[in-house]
């Protein structure tokens, strides 16, 4: 953070004065993450100029740290040979992340620039479904033959270790490629060098399946507290590893997407800070227009009860309280369920239990709120209004809460995204329910008091 | 996941038949994370019984993997010597996490059971502020003298490495304890054993400050893609390390808390699945009652305009559309800002830029929505209603969006939690604004058409 603010003016001066040699000499001594952060603060032209003067290896690192729109910009402004160098320098998981976001046409062009081996690997990784663990895999891991001695294994690791993303955990693979165990490098380093590796194994290991959704992997990592997990196919063949730094990104991105969806903002794909006005408009307008339709029904509901409203005008003044409370309780319930599904805390086996508990919770909340509403109704209207408002409050709060609980569960059951049960959607639907419940109860109560509404 | 479902009935049978020896023999061969998951599925009595038969080392691991309420239960049901063993077996960071959640009285008792050295360390860690990086620290890291050779350093690591949480990164510390660099174990393993460690250093390293908030650490980890980061004090003295598995937990917990707060649910401290009815009631009722007050103002607003309502009844039917749209646009804006503050994407320097952009975005959204509203108003009322609804829509959407943008920024500026600008709060406040704007515009337009509202 500091570097960016300190260096930005100086770098800008140098870039604008065309003193690119000095820019290169200076940046060559800086760590990649700082340079990546600095690049995002430059304008497009300066960003391209500055990136192109970076030494080869540093450029590779910086490129892999940039967000997609910046990567895209740089690729568009580089000669073919430069593009080839940069994408060849990416690690397999970073390359897949780039390719999956670019238009198919561009990806095809880029694939053509890779070596045969890299292209084959990229195509294999891209063949896993979007959002799957397979697409996060890297091949930079180390395996050891269970029959070798610790000394042989360590020598093997010394020779092969340069390129691996993590050496903390070593994987044990049989002759056919099946994953049979894992072992900590630590355990081998402190073991007697003459021991056979097989004698150090415990037969327990955690692994991911290549077709699993990447958000499930977050919970597996949390459970095992490991820095990397091996990925296998249905036959148990070791395909690659996934590292926890990518999983931290998955967790943060998935949470951000769910936040946005819960507020009816479509996924931005880019940081909020860098989003353009047009992009934000497009990502926000869809649901807002959609909810207009829901709101029309509420309006129609109110119109149905116009006579009741004209008879007891105090009812209208209390309407926002009633329909608002149902929506708020529903928003709480929906958010609790959506987040619990996302973190894997609850599965379909828990639904009936959760639904029963929600009925209990919302009944308690409804009764407590009805107490407050009763006095308000009495103050603003009369005893009739007080009774109407109290009865409606219990019903509306329970109805809103159950809707907020059931809708995300239902969406999940239908293999749709539970976060589509957004707070504005729940609130708007609670409005309709609220109006219908409120004025129906009003009509009934007023009729009971022999003061017909019409 | 599988194990729990497969074994639960069998284990239950064995526990209930009192065949605890068989339970122990069976569980002794299982990995800790699976046993921890299994324990959470048992009832309190069986959980205590099962935990107590676990072999010592396994019990330590399983205990560290359990959520706080379960740890608490076990501690309450163990003899003092067992408690001493379990808390002595915890790693320093896990111990701090347990102590900070327990009542001070209990923590004090537990501290008395620790060895002098462990107690001193625990007290040091607890002296860091709640939520700070300091409290996440562990001392299980390795340092190397820059003047030693690679061979000497590796031998030192071989002897000392058993207890360290990560050996992927080794820290270089001068004689006074200042952190001067870091180096990957990988780099040392593949280096010529005769090289001096100092000659392998690059002078660049990332570190955290012990007083930094732990949520900031999430973003530092994401930036540098490391598995552990060293923690220093203001003098640059190395105090400990923080590992990425704890950071993944921090990220997930912080996101969950923000989700709940955005829906006016106070932090649960326990998983949603395990929360009791009473706890959920207490965590949800507060804000719901609070929002009743906000809703009363909306009602008072409506009451002010009773005459207008009675004159043109179609206006009431369109009210939910107007105030709903303002609330929805505000909810979008608030959620975008709250999440962007939480992920560190935006800081106070960006506010004016973001505010200007939001004015632009909300004006575009407002105009688009006004188009739809105009036709609706015409259909349900007349040209006057159409004009009122269209004009109100633009104003209400802009007002709601700006409120949703400014409120979290303001809270952040005041060092309060931006997520307090919850969606129900924004929606309720937008209701008040919406009613005032809508009926004021209605009065003005009706007056202009020479059809006074009163």
The answer to whether residues A238 and A232 touch, using CB atoms and an 8 Å cutoff, is yes
Judged against a pLDDT cut of 60, whether residue B248 lies above it is answered with yes
Q: Which of A80-84, A391-395, B162-166, B188-192 has the lowest mean pLDDT?
A: B162-166
Nearest to B340 among A244, A272, A292 (CB): A272
Tokens of B268: 């649960």
Q: Is B28 on the interface with A (CB under 8 A)?
A: no
B168·A167 Cβ contact <8 A:
yes
Residue of chain A whose Cα is closest to the Cα of B251: A252
pLDDT of residue A453: 46
Q: What would the pLDDT profile of A406-444 be if each residue is shown by its tens digit?
A: 999 999 999 888 988 899 999 999 999 999 999 999 989
- Binding-face residues of B in 128-157 toward A, CB within 8 A: 157
Which of A55, A259, A340, A390 to mutate to test binding with chain B, by most B CBs within 10 Å of its CB?
A: A259
* Segment A53-79 mean pLDDT: 87
Q: Is B310 on the interface with A (CB under 8 A)?
A: yes
Q: In what order do the strands lie in the sheet with A169-173?
A: A143-144, A169-173, A179-184
Cα of A162 to nearest chain B Cα, Å: 7
The ipTM (two decimal places) reads 0.84
Averaged pLDDT of chain B? 87
Judged against a pLDDT cut of 60, whether residue A452 lies above it is answered with no
Q: Is B223 on the interface with A (CB under 8 A)?
A: yes
pLDDT of residue A187: 82
Query: How much is the pTM?
Result: 0.85
**Structure confidence at residue A166 as a pLDDT band (50, 70, 90):** low
Q: What would the pLDDT profile of A252-309 be if each residue is shown by its tens digit?
A: 999 999 999 988 888 887 888 888 888 888 888 888 888 888 888 888 888 888 888 7
Residue B129: burial class (beta carbons within 10 Å; 0-12, 13-18, 19+)? exposed
**Structure confidence at residue B453 as a pLDDT band (50, 70, 90):** very low
Residue B28 is classified by DSSP as T
Packing angle of the helix pair A423-448, A314-342 (nearest 10 deg):
140
How far apart, in whole angstroms, are the C-alpha atoms of residue A247 and residue A245?
Answer: 5
Judged against a pLDDT cut of 90, whether residue B229 lies above it is answered with yes
Q: Would you mind telling me the total number of residues written for chain A in this entry? A: 454
Give residue for tokens 């590893």. Answer: A241
Q: What would the pLDDT profile of B55-113 be if each residue is shown by its tens digit?
A: 888 888 899 888 888 888 888 888 888 889 888 888 888 888 888 888 888 888 889 89
Q: Is A291 on the interface with B (CB under 8 A)?
A: yes
What's the CATH number for A2-128? Answer: 1.25.60.10
Torsion of CA A190, A196, A199, A200, to 10 degrees: 30
pLDDT of residue A22: 84
Give CATH superfamily name and number for B143-250: CBS-domain (3.10.580.10)
Q: Which residues in chain A are closer than 8 Å to B371, comparing Cβ atoms?
A: none
Q: How far are the Cα atoms of A155, A279, A281, A429, B233 from residue B365, in angstroms, in the given order?
A: 64, 12, 6, 22, 48
Q: Is B299 on the interface with A (CB under 8 A)?
A: yes
Cα of B123 to nearest chain A Cα, Å: 25
* Segment A223-250 mean pLDDT: 92
* Segment B210-230 mean pLDDT: 91
B158·A189 Cβ contact <8 A:
yes
Classify domain A272-449 at the CATH class level: mainly alpha
Judged against a pLDDT cut of 50, whether residue A2 lies above it is answered with no
Q: What would the pLDDT profile of A397-407 be if each residue is shown by its tens digit?
A: 999 999 999 99
A225·B218 Cβ contact <8 A:
no
Any idea where the domains of chain A sit in the sequence?
2-128, 143-250, 272-449
**Structure confidence at residue B2 as a pLDDT band (50, 70, 90):** very low
pLDDT of residue A164: 62
Q: What percent of chain A has pLDDT over 70?
A: 96
How many Cβ pairs within 8 Å bridge chains A and B?
A: 351
Q: What would the pLDDT profile of A366-388 be if each residue is shown by its tens digit?
A: 999 999 889 888 887 888 889 99
Q: What would the pLDDT profile of B121-140 be if each residue is shown by its tens digit?
A: 899 888 899 889 999 998 88
* Segment B336-354 mean pLDDT: 88
pLDDT of residue B29: 81
Q: What φ, ψ does residue B113 adopt, rounded to 5°?
A: -85, -15
How far apart, in whole angstroms, are the C-alpha atoms of residue B350 and residue B344?
Answer: 11
């Amino acid at each position: 953070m500091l570097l960016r603010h300190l260096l930005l003016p100086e770098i800008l001066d140098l870039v604008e004065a065309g003193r690119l040699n000095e820019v290169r000499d200076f940046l060559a001594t800086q760590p990649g993450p700082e340079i990546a952060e600095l690049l995002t603060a430059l304008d497009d032209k300066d960003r391209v100029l500055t990136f192109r003067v970076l030494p080869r290896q540093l450029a590779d690192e910086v490129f892999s740290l940039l967000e997609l729109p910046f990567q895209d910009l740089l690729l568009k402004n580089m000669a073919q040979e430069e593009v080839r160098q940069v994408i060849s320098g990416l690690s397999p998981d970073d390359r897949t992340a780039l390719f999956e976001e670019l238009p198919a046409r561009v990806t095809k062009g880029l694939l053509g620039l890779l070596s045969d081996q890299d292209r084959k690997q990229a195509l294999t990784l891209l063949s896993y479904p979007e959002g799957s663990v397979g697409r996060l895999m890297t091949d930079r891991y180390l395996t050891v033959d269970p029959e070798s001695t610790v000394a042989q294994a360590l020598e093997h690791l010394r020779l092969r270790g340069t390129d691996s993303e993590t050496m903390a955990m070593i994987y044990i693979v049989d002759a056919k490629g099946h994953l049979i165990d894992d072992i900590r490098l630590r355990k081998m380093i402190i073991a007697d060098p003459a021991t056979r590796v097989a004698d150090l194994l415990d037969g327990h290991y955690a692994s991911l399946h290549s077709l699993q959704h990447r958000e499930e992997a977050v919970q597996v990592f949390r459970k095992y507290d490991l820095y990397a997990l091996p990925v296998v196919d249905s036959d148990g063949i070791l395909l690659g590893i996934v590292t926890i730094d990518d999983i931290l990104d998955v967790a943060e991105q998935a949470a951000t997407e769910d936040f946005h969806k819960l507020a009816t903002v479509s996924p931005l794909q880019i940081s909020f800070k860098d989003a353009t006005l047009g992009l934000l408009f497009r990502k926000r307008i869809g649901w807002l227009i959609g909810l207009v339709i829901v709101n029309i029904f509420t309006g129609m509901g109110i119109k149905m009860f116009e006579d009741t409203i004209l008879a007891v005008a105090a009812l209208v003044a209390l309407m926002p309280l009633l329909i608002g409370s149902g929506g708020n309780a529903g928003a709480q319930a929906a958010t609790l369920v959506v987040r619990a599904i996302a973190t894997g805390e609850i599965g379909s086996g828990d639904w009936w239990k959760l639904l029963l508990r929600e009925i209990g919770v919302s009944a308690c909340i409804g009764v407590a709120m009805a107490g407050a509403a009763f006095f308000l109704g009495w103050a603003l209207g009369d005893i009739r209004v007080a009774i109407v408002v109290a009865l409606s409050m219990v019903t509306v709060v329970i109805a809103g809460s159950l809707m907020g609980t059931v809708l995300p569960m239902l969406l999940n059951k239908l293999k749709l995204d539970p976060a589509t049960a957004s707070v504005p959607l729940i609130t708007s639907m609670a409005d309709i329910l609220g109006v219908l419940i409120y004025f129906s109860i009003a009509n009934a109560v007023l009729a009971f008091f022999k003061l017909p509404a019409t």
